């Protein structure tokens, strides 16, 4: 009897599906506790991995960076997923462009790299608020990273969107994700809420199943609160640490199974006002070789650091507030501009002693270019653009509101009130309880009077007539990503005082600076109306330029400028702080530039523009300037009182 067509089609389709299912059944990544090793598809396996953050690298450069990692001998890439990068408002998700997580997983697969995924919800990573969305703080009493129902509800909602997206990419499902980290260095957080960790573990299992390997990562002193039964325990440390002692501490929590260092530090982060961090290549290479001889699996943090574009840098709190630089070069084996360094070749040489290195040379450094100097033109003071920066008008309140209460996630907000009486003698203007978060630029009737800064500068002396306008531009320098057990609200956290008088009746202007730069400034509608005399800062400056010849990566240098934000062709390149350092140049990938049309650069200078307002593009970065504090209030005794910095985690 002849089979009907549907039956025939079924038999034609079934064999491939059965083969595929059978092939997937053989895919596995498990812990072999009897022999202290991993097994990949039943075969002994050790990963040599490196960290790269897709959110710090433009999408068109992902493939280049991943290829260089693979050609260095790595067989895996480890990366975080920052919640706040994908859910900017509750229930509003973005997985497009440089946020396309699935595209990055596919690029890793093309580079023949396995994936170790770290979805948080908290990630640290020296990233704004450790990856947690700032809108969580609109509930001011929320307890982050605990079993607070308000926090868990937000986490559950987010993971019910994120985890189903990655489920098809789990290794046993045919993808390249071999393991997933739960939370991040939770043992370094004082809450030590085991119910929270159990909730997360249950959520991961409910959405991803029981097959995928789940693990935790902590520093040596964080294992007690960071580890959890049912999750594989790993540790992190750098080349200067006592490897034997730390691995023995790990064995107290994970007696059997492979040794894993989930963050072997190839370099370190930079803070504004401190020296650029470096770690010698021989020291890093020797430590790596020692671990590999022990049979350990290792992830190098970072293998390529990238850049904190825009407002995305985080901050630490180690006795004072320490915002992190725009550059996240990290002294990593692959530089911020994507170039192989001597450290990469030292590491590659070590790896070659333990496993085969892919054949072929590493791609060469990208072409670099110089340009300038270019003269910046004054567009006008920030106050002159207030109607365009805040088109919907101000929020009125008797007492000042925080950024979070005003739903201003990043950047700047202007606070305005009017003096109710004449202040004849210089009178202290201050905010109690270190209530400036993070930096305040104070103006009276449009004239710049000085700065208040979190932890460092608490008082100014002001005079003014009754009815004078008092403006305070508040800058959010990045929310705490590590080193704190409290929520990092931004703005004026307390009502300011003038003498002993509490100032009230405030207007808050949440400023949409990026929209102004991207859409309105190109029209140059107000430029002709600006006076020739230099305005009071903060002020906008801009110029246009063309590139003759082939485009190349470059580094923006701002000699003589003080502090501010910079945009190229509407793209927010990040913060500069020339006066404080150590970073002096900002990385400009060539993809941001036009070769056949005019380019536009815009600066928002917050403090003091140079008499000769010029900029340059260099072919080499300057990441470690000699510190030169440009403010009289940084008294030597205050600086001497700062304690040496302890190292933070990630």
Ordered DSSP codes for 547-559: --SS--BEEEE-T
Pairing of strands 87-89, 76-80: unpaired
3-state class (DSSP) for residue 495: coil
| The one catalytic residue among 183, 185, 254, 475 | 185
**Among 128, 183, 254, 263, the one annotated catalytic:** 263
Where are any strands of DSSP class E within 329-391? 371-375, 377-381
| 3-class state of residue 441 by DSSP | strand
3-state secondary structure of 229: coil
CB proximity list for 138: less than 8 A, separation 6 or greater = 404, 405, 407
Question: For 256-366, where are the alpha helices, taking DSSP H only?
Answer: 281-293, 342-351
CA–CA distance, 527 with 602 (Å, rounded to integer): 13
Euclidean distance between CA atoms 274 and 272, whole angstroms: 6
How far is residue 34's CA from residue 498's CA, in Å, rounded to a whole number? 70
- Paired with 440 in beta bridges are 452, 474
User: How many CA atoms lie less than 13 Å away from 237 in the CB half-sphere?
Assistant: 24
With CA atoms as reference, report the closest residue to 199 among 234, 235, 140, 155. Answer: 155
Q: Are strands 232-237 and 213-218 parallel, antiparallel or unpaired?
A: parallel
Q: Which residue has tokens 């005079």?
A: 463
Beta-carbon neighbour count of residue 506 at 10 Å?
22
Which residues, other chains included, contact 453 with Cβ-Cβ below 8 Å and sequence gap of 6+? 436, 438, 439, 440
In the annotation, is 505 catalytic? no
Q: How far is CA 348 from the centre of its chain?
A: 27
Establish whether 356 is a catalytic residue: no
Annotate 450-488 with DSSP letters as a single string. EEEETTTB-EEEEEE-TT-EEEEEEE----EEES-SS--
Residue 499 CB-density burial (10 A; 0-12 exposed, 13-18 middle, 19+ buried): exposed
- Residue 381's nearest CA partner among 464, 437, 445 is 445
Q: How many helices (H) and strands (E) does the chain have?
A: 13, 37
The two most distant CA atoms of the chain are separated, in Å, by 108
How far apart, in Å, are the Cα atoms of 66 and each of 305, 348, 364? 12, 15, 14
Burial class (CB in 10 A: 0-12, 13-18, 19+), 319: middle
Decide: 235 and 220 in contact? Cβ < 8 Å: yes
Beta bridge partners of 299: 49
Catalytic residues: 185, 263
């Amino acid at each position: 009897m002849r089979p009907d067509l549907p039956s025939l089609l079924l038999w034609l389709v079934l064999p491939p599906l059965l083969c595929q299912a059978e092939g997937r059944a053989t895919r596995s990544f498990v812990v072999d506790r009897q022999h202290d090793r991993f097994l990949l598809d039943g075969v002994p396996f050790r990963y040599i991995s490196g960290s790269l953050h897709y959110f710090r690298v433009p999408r068109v450069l992902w493939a280049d960076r991943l290829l260089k990692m693979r050609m260095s001998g790595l067989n895996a890439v480890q990366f975080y997923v920052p919640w706040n990068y994908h859910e900017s408002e509750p229930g509003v998700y973005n997985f497009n462009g440089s946020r396309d997580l699935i595209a990055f997983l596919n690029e890793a697969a093309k580079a023949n790299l396995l994936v170790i995924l770290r979805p948080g919800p908290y990630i640290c990573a020296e990233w704004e608020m450790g990856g947690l969305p700032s809108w969580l703080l609109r509930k001011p009493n929320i307890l982050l990273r605990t079993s607070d129902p308000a926090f868990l509800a937000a986490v559950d909602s987010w993971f019910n969107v994120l985890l189903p997206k990655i489920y098809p990419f789990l290794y046993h499902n045919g993808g390249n994700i071999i393991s997933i980290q739960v939370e991040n260095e939770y043992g370094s957080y004082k809450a030590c809420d085991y119910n929270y960790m159990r909730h997360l573990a249950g959520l991961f299992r409910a959405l991803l199943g029981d097959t995928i390997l789940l693990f935790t990562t902590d520093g040596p002193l964080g294992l007690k609160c960071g580890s959890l039964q049912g999750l594989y325990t790993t540790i992190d440390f750098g080349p200067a640490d006592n490897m034997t002692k730390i691995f023995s501490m790990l064995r107290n929590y994970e007696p059997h199974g492979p040794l894993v260092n989930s963050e072997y530090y190839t370099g370190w982060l930079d803070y504004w006002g401190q020296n650029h961090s470096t770690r010698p290549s021989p020291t890093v290479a020797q430590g790596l070789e020692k671990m590999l001889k022990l049979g350990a699996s290792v992830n190098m943090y970072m293998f390529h650091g990238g850049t904190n574009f825009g407002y995305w840098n985080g901050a630490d709190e180690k006795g004072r507030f320490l915002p992190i630089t725009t550059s996240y070069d990290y002294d990593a084996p692959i530089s911020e501009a994507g170039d192989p360094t001597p450290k990469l070749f030292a590491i590659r040489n070590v790896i070659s002693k333990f496993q085969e290195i892919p054949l072929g040379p590493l791609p060469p450094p990208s072409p670099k270019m110089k340009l300038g100097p270019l003269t910046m033109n004054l567009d006008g003071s920030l106050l002159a653009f207030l109607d365009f920066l805040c088109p919907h008008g101000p929020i009125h309140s008797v007492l000042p509101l925080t950024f979070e209460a005003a739903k201003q996630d990043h950047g700047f907000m202007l606070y305005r009130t009017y003096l109710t009486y004449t202040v004849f003698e210089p009178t202290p203007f201050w905010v109690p309880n270190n209530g400036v978060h993070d930096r305040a630029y104070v103006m009276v009737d449009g004239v710049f009077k000085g700065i208040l800064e979190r932890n460092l500068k608490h008082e100014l002396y002001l005079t003014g007539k009754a009815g004078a306008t008092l403006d305070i531009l508040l800058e959010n320098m990045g929310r705490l990503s590590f080193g704190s057990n409290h929520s990092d609200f931004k703005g004026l956290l307390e009502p300011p005082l003038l003498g002993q008088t509490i100032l009230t009746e405030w207007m808050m202007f949440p400023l949409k600076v990026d929209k102004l730069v991207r859409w309105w400034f190109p029209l140059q509608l107000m430029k002709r109306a600006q006076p020739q005399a230099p305005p009071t800062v903060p002020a906008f400056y801009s110029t246009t330029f063309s590139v003759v010849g082939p485009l190349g990566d470059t580094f923006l240098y701002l000699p003589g400028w003080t502090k501010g934000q910079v945009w190229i062709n509407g793209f927010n390149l990040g913060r500069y702080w020339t006066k404080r350092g150590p970073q002096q140049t900002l990385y400009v990938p060539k993809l941001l530039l036009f070769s056949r049309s005019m380019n536009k650069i815009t600066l928002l200078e917050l403090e003091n523009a140079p008499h000769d307002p010029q900029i340059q593009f260099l072919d080499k970065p300057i990441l470690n300037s000699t510190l030169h504090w440009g403010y009289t209030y940084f008294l030597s005794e205050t600086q001497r009182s700062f304690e040496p910095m302890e190292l933070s985690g990630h």
